[in-house]
Amino acid sequence: MGEFELIRRYFFPIAEAGNTSAVLLGPGDDCAIQRIEPGRDLVFSVDALVEGVHFPHHYDPEKLGWRSLAVAASDLAAMGADPVCFTLALTLPDADPDWLHAYASGLASAASCFGLSLAGGDTTRGPLMLSLQVHGTVPRGQAIRRSGAQVGDYVCVSGTLGEAGAALNYLESNNPQADEQAVLARYHYPEPRLRLGAALRGSVSAAVDISDGLIADLGHLLEASGVAACIDVAKLPLSAALKRLVGENAVNLALNAGDDYELCITISPREWGSLSEDIRSRLTIIGEVKPGDGLVINDDGQSRAPGAGGYDHFRT
Ligand code: ADP
Ligand code: MG
């Protein structure tokens, strides 16, 4: 199978996966063409995934297909962007048809789920590495940045935290139990919060997606905004499965572990009050923005800085 047959067979079909009306020209020419509607801004980001660094060696290619697009799309969700299309630069050690079929099928599922069509890419031989650039759009000026948090805003997170981190313990498990399967699904099939991010445009003051852990990513948001925050350990959203699996260490994982791809946002109490019931039900208020810098963690009446007092390991 030659390079072009490979691309045509496995990747061209994914050009039909998303909303194709904005992609005037998909893969096959020297460039793709995306039409930007008048009055909208293009929002784009690239993510590289290296075998052994961002995913384990011999990782299931179908899961890798989903995950590689999900983690890239999560950045669009954090900006409140409506997804449009993506490009894929793929470096492969060899053209293994089974691997390619499985990778392309995971990628195609994610692409149609997220509404992202494959607009083009590049295919080369070398150590396994994937680079995905995602494109979205927002009404002009409405992209959500990290830098807008204001003193007095609530700090909120979507979904539940810590499960993908717990899954690292069960990646090698041959016969995972129900709770283990639940947390493994969070690691293998992350769901970028694209609809939520877009729905929060115009309401929230700042947002970041949680890829490296709540403390790390909220820290980036606070630094960009020039503010501090306190969060309350008792308010962290933890799933029942996580609590059953790791007990008290659930808090550790929720604060420190990455790979959840939930959103962390800040929002004024007034805007919070104007959110629909449906959107509020997808968010949990975990703290408040304060003047100054840094993050303070309230734990059972005690205040501590992140990292101090035992939030230093992921082991369960
Ligand atoms: P060029 O040499 O002009 O950059 P290529 O030979 O690299 O073009 O690619 C030919 C066409 O196939 C281009 O339209 C490119 O976007 C597409 N393509 C290459 N690799 C991929 C891929 N992995 N996924 C989707 N499209 C791809
Ligand atoms: Mg060319």
CA 125, CA 128: separation in Å to the nearest integer? Answer: 8
Which one of 81, 116, 139 terminates a domain? 139
Tell me how long the chain is.
316
Is the Cβ atom of 108 under 6 angstroms away from ligand 1? no
Q: Is 44 a domain residue?
A: yes
Q: Are residues 85 and 220 part of one domain? A: no
Looking at the CA of 87, name the nearest ligand: 1
Position 14 pLDDT exceeds 80: yes
Q: Are residues 75 and 202 part of one domain? A: no
Q: Are residues 10 and 108 part of one domain? A: yes
Which one of 74, 107, 139 terminates a domain? 139
Q: What is the mean pLDDT of residues 283-304?
A: 96
Q: Are residues 300 and 162 part of one domain? A: yes
Does the global pTM surpass 0.75? yes
CA 86, CA 225: separation in Å to the nearest integer? Answer: 29
Closest CA to 70 of 148, 212, 187: 187
Which range marks the domain in which residue 227 is found?
154-304
Q: What is the mean pLDDT of residues 67-79?
A: 98
Asked if 23 and 120 touch (Cβ cutoff 8 Å), the reply is no
Question: Contacts by 34-39 with C-beta closer than 8 Å and gap 24+?
Answer: 34/84, 34/85, 34/119, 34/135, 36/137, 37/137, 39/139, 39/140
Q: Are residues 284 and 162 part of one domain? A: yes
Is the Cβ atom of 27 under 6 angstroms away from ligand 1? yes
Is the Cβ atom of 278 under 6 angstroms away from ligand 1? no
Q: How confident is the model at residue 315 (pLDDT cuts 50, 70, 90)?
A: very low
Q: Is 128 a domain residue?
A: yes
Position 166 pLDDT exceeds 80: yes
Is the Cβ atom of 26 under 6 angstroms away from ligand 1? no
Mutate to test the pocket of ligand 1, among 123, 128, 131, 132 (most ligand atoms within 8 A of CB): 123
Which one of 109, 139, 169 terminates a domain? 139
Q: What is the mean pLDDT of residues 150-163?
A: 98
Looking at the CA of 15, name the nearest ligand: 1
CA 27 to ligand 1 centroid distance, Å: 6
Q: Is 309 a domain residue?
A: no
Contacts of 291 (CB under 8 A, 6+ apart): 151, 227, 228
Q: Is 115 a domain residue?
A: yes
Asked if 214 and 161 touch (Cβ cutoff 8 Å), the reply is yes
CA 85 to ligand 2 centroid distance, Å: 20
Q: Are residues 209 and 105 part of one domain? A: no
Looking at the CA of 27, name the nearest ligand: 1
Q: Are residues 196 and 286 part of one domain? A: yes
Q: Is 147 a domain residue?
A: no
Protein residue with its CA nearest to atom 2 in ligand 1: 30
Domain count, the chain: 2
Position 254 pLDDT exceeds 60: yes
Looking at the CA of 107, name the nearest ligand: 1
CA 126 to ligand 2 centroid distance, Å: 20
Average pLDDT over the chain reads: 94
pLDDT reported for residue 112: 96
Other Cβ atoms within 10 Å of 170 Cβ, number: 18
Position 310 pLDDT exceeds 50: no
Q: How confident is the model at residue 314 (pLDDT cuts 50, 70, 90)?
A: very low
CA 89 to ligand 1 centroid distance, Å: 9
Q: Is 148 a domain residue?
A: no
Closest CA to 3 of 84, 130, 118, 90: 90
Q: Are residues 117 and 15 part of one domain? A: yes
CATH of the domain at 102: 3.30.1330.10
CATH of the domain at 163: 3.90.650.10
CA 244, CA 225: separation in Å to the nearest integer? Answer: 36
Position 313 pLDDT exceeds 60: no
Distance of CA 231 to the CA centre of its chain: 21
Is the Cβ atom of 29 under 6 angstroms away from ligand 1? yes
Q: Is 165 a domain residue?
A: yes
Q: Are residues 299 and 173 part of one domain? A: yes
Higher per-residue pLDDT: 300 or 269: 269
Q: Are residues 292 and 169 part of one domain? A: yes
Q: Are residues 264 and 159 part of one domain? A: yes
Q: Is 310 a domain residue?
A: no
Q: Which atom of ligand 1 is nearest to the CA of 118?
A: 25
Q: Are residues 92 and 11 part of one domain? A: yes
Q: How confident is the model at residue 309 (pLDDT cuts 50, 70, 90)?
A: very low
Protein residue with its CA nearest to atom 4 in ligand 1: 30
